[in-house]
A and B are shown apart, each in its own frame.
Chain A
């Protein structure tokens, strides 16, 4: 992996009489993906940033009362005072306590939405790419229809009809990711299905589902893991945005996006209520995005999907 730009002719191993050479050491012995990700600056920074915020989000709800002396929904003082470390919010609750408790749901919903999008998108993308022909064009046209809505608009449409429930957020964000992931999965599958090992499997009459699972899927994990990282970043952004608009998590829940919405009127008086959650969301999304980029470099994928 140290000389990626070499002339392929130079890199290819010369082959003297094939048979007589003793089995040589693996020339391309690749370290596992996590190690290759960690080997890059982007990977290291990404892991550290993501881990820090994830730690706060996971442990925060337990530590909040113990560290700040207040529960996230308990009234500590009058609104926008400097009680405690980070003061109080619009209703007089402890900003510190709400900050510590406010990441868990966001994180859980984002991960779930990404997982849903990956499963659905990957399945339809692989089927479309592998089946080709009419199946493929029908699937891709349906995809285009979903893609014609900006993600947020479709989410708002769903929320106005179904209400701002957690499952609605997860489902709608996940399903709006699906066609984008499907595109990537399809493109990657198309690159693989023209390979002769797929034809060989066809020739041995290997069942089609098994071809998808054993021959295609392992060979498209590179672009898919990059996509997973990107989509996680966008899921976090989208769910936080909805909460910020007041249409995601509902009061009195403690949530970073919602906190920003509630406290931004007092940005110049009591900035902590906005700055803390903004920082947390920023660090988290930057972390996951750097991770996605490091994975992309590690799998040597050049595809940068841009939506």
Chain B
């Protein structure tokens, strides 16, 4: 088992390295001179040369990659072309804000999704199950900004004017100090993720409930409640952990649109701004961070999957 997990860990490290190569290669493709972009058209040759040396632009691509990668480990994400300041400083506060948003969304989405999914699977074919199926199909189809705008229209601008439509973040104040402005972004993210969790939970449970050992448990006279909790549910843990992981990892990307929509001062907002200004260093940093979250969450899901399966667990 430990071997399996270690192997999985190695794969994750490998993927992250590969991701960093892809992200770094993007810089090389970019036309123009980053040093000139930072200093502007009037900069003198000496200052440009100095900055190029400082940014290692005079080295070979491989050296630059290694230097950049080394920097990542010590928290040096490079220099922003727009502000001229270090990227790390620019992002440090925003990471916290984004994490809060993701955690809130996950805290709502996972229990709600799992509960509705099980409920739906146990009442297969009934009208309530069909209602669940139709709503998940509808919700799952909608892009996150559509859900967000509908929520804004409903709760902020047109129907009820009870919640703020955008996030206010005066300097020096953290977003979570005004909890009401977290509600709509969190709700949007949760609504995007929940249908997938419901569908997977329902499908897995439905499949397990049809299995031979569940029939056997019933024919042994085991009470239905125990059939579900003891015989069926443990089988759903593995697959559902996978889906939850994919969805949580998706949050890392989905947060971009939602933050933009609500002007929420997180990583996603920073990413959009950086793309608009073609600030490659920031885009690189944010991409790497998001990819790292993605890979990490998937790793955790796989480990849960391994632990939930006695066949894999006992394979040592």
For residue B145, CB closer than 8 A to chain A, the reply is yes
Near B by CB (< 8 A), chain A positions 253-293 give 260, 264, 267-268, 271, 274-275, 278, 281-282, 285-286, 288-290, 293
Q: Is the CB of B290 within 8 A of A153?
A: yes
| A288 and B137 alpha carbons, distance in the complex (Å) | 10
| A110 and B271 alpha carbons, distance in the complex (Å) | 24
- B24 → chain A closest CB, angstroms: 11
| A240 and B148 alpha carbons, distance in the complex (Å) | 14
- B12 → chain A closest CB, angstroms: 9
**Chain A interface mostly:** helix
Give every chain A residue within 8 A of B5 (Cβ-Cβ). none
| A151 and B257 alpha carbons, distance in the complex (Å) | 12
Q: Is the CB of A153 within 8 A of B291?
A: yes
Near A by CB (< 8 A), chain B positions 273-290 give 274-276, 278, 280, 283, 286-287, 290
Near A by CB (< 8 A), chain B positions 249-281 give 249-250, 252-254, 256-257, 260, 271-272, 274-276, 278, 280
Q: Is the CB of B275 within 8 A of A160?
A: yes
**Chain B interface mostly:** helix
Q: Is the CB of A157 within 8 A of B250?
A: no
Interface string of B11-35 (1 = CB under 8 A from A): 1001110110011001001100000
Q: Is the CB of A286 within 8 A of B142?
A: yes
- B11 → chain A closest CB, angstroms: 7
Q: Is the CB of B153 within 8 A of A267?
A: yes
Task: Pick the residue among B29, B142, B246 that contacts A306 (CB under 8 A).
Answer: B246
| A233 and B196 alpha carbons, distance in the complex (Å) | 14
For residue B303, CB closer than 8 A to chain A, the reply is no
Closest to B21 in A: A145
Q: Is the CB of B18 within 8 A of A307?
A: no
Interface string of B159-189 (1 = CB under 8 A from A): 0000001000000000000000000000000
For residue A161, CB closer than 8 A to chain B, the reply is yes
Q: Is the CB of B250 within 8 A of A150?
A: yes
Task: Pick the residue among A151, A159, A268, A278 that contacts B157 (CB under 8 A).
Answer: A268
| A68 and B98 alpha carbons, distance in the complex (Å) | 44
Q: Is the CB of A306 within 8 A of B196?
A: yes
A149-B19, A153-B291, A274-B149 known; A302-B157 Cβ under 8 A:
no
A150-B253, A160-B278 known; A241-B143 Cβ under 8 A:
yes
Near A by CB (< 8 A), chain B positions 84-120 give none
Q: Which of B61-69, B199-207, B228-236 contacts A (4 or more CB under 8 A)?
A: B199-207
Give every chain B residue within 8 A of A144 (Cβ-Cβ). 11, 15
Q: Is the CB of B295 within 8 A of A260?
A: no
| A42 and B137 alpha carbons, distance in the complex (Å) | 9
Interface string of A216-246 (1 = CB under 8 A from B): 0000000000000000010011101100111
| A285 and B146 alpha carbons, distance in the complex (Å) | 11
| A144 and B18 alpha carbons, distance in the complex (Å) | 10
Give every chain B residue within 8 A of A161 (Cβ-Cβ). 26, 29-30, 280
For residue B150, CB closer than 8 A to chain A, the reply is yes
For residue B44, CB closer than 8 A to chain A, the reply is no
A150-B253, A160-B275, A286-B137 known; A278-B150 Cβ under 8 A:
yes
Q: Is the CB of B256 within 8 A of A156?
A: yes
Task: Pick the residue among B16, B152, B254, B286 that contacts A148 (CB under 8 A).
Answer: B16
For residue A76, CB closer than 8 A to chain B, the reply is no
Q: Is the CB of A145 within 8 A of B15?
A: yes
A150-B294, A260-B149 known; A160-B280 Cβ under 8 A:
yes
- B293 → chain A closest CB, angstroms: 9
For residue A304, CB closer than 8 A to chain B, the reply is yes
Near B by CB (< 8 A), chain A positions 126-161 give 141, 144-145, 148-154, 156-161
Interface string of A82-94 (1 = CB under 8 A from B): 0000000000000
Point out which of B146, B250, B278 has the most chain A C-beta atoms below 10 A from its C-beta.
Answer: B146
Interface string of A50-91 (1 = CB under 8 A from B): 000000000000000000000000000000000000000000
Q: Is the CB of B283 within 8 A of A156?
A: yes
A267-B153, A271-B158, A286-B138 known; A152-B19 Cβ under 8 A:
no
Q: Is the CB of B253 within 8 A of A288?
A: no
Task: Pick the residue among A148, A157, A264 that contacts B15 (CB under 8 A).
Answer: A148
Task: Pick the residue among A149, A240, A302 that contacts B287 (CB under 8 A).
Answer: A149
| A290 and B134 alpha carbons, distance in the complex (Å) | 9
Closest to A266 in B: B157
Give every chain B residue within 8 A of A246 (Cβ-Cβ). 272, 276
| A145 and B196 alpha carbons, distance in the complex (Å) | 23
Task: Pick the residue among B15, B207, B250, B295 that contacts A307 (CB under 8 A).
Answer: B250
Interface string of B215-255 (1 = CB under 8 A from A): 00000000000000000000000000001001101101110
Q: What residues make up the interface of A, taking CB atoms closer than 8 Å to B? A: 42, 141, 144-145, 148-154, 156-162, 233, 236-238, 240-241, 244-247, 260, 264, 267-268, 271, 274-275, 278, 281-282, 285-286, 288-290, 293, 302, 304, 306-307
The 8 A-B residue pairs with the shortest CB-CB distance, nearest first, are A150-B253, A289-B141, A237-B143, A285-B141, A268-B157, A145-B18, A306-B196, A286-B141
A to B CB contacts below 8 Å, 24 in the list: A145-B15, A148-B15, A148-B295, A150-B252, A150-B291, A150-B294, A156-B283, A157-B26, A161-B29, A161-B30, A233-B141, A236-B143, A237-B143, A238-B143, A241-B144, A244-B145, A246-B272, A267-B149, A267-B165, A274-B149, A285-B142, A289-B138, A290-B137, A304-B200
Q: What residues make up the interface of B, taking CB atoms closer than 8 Å to A? A: 11, 14-16, 18-19, 22-23, 26, 29-30, 137-138, 140-146, 149-150, 152-153, 157-158, 165, 196, 199-200, 203, 207, 243, 246-247, 249-250, 252-254, 256-257, 260, 271-272, 274-276, 278, 280, 283, 286-287, 290-291, 294-295
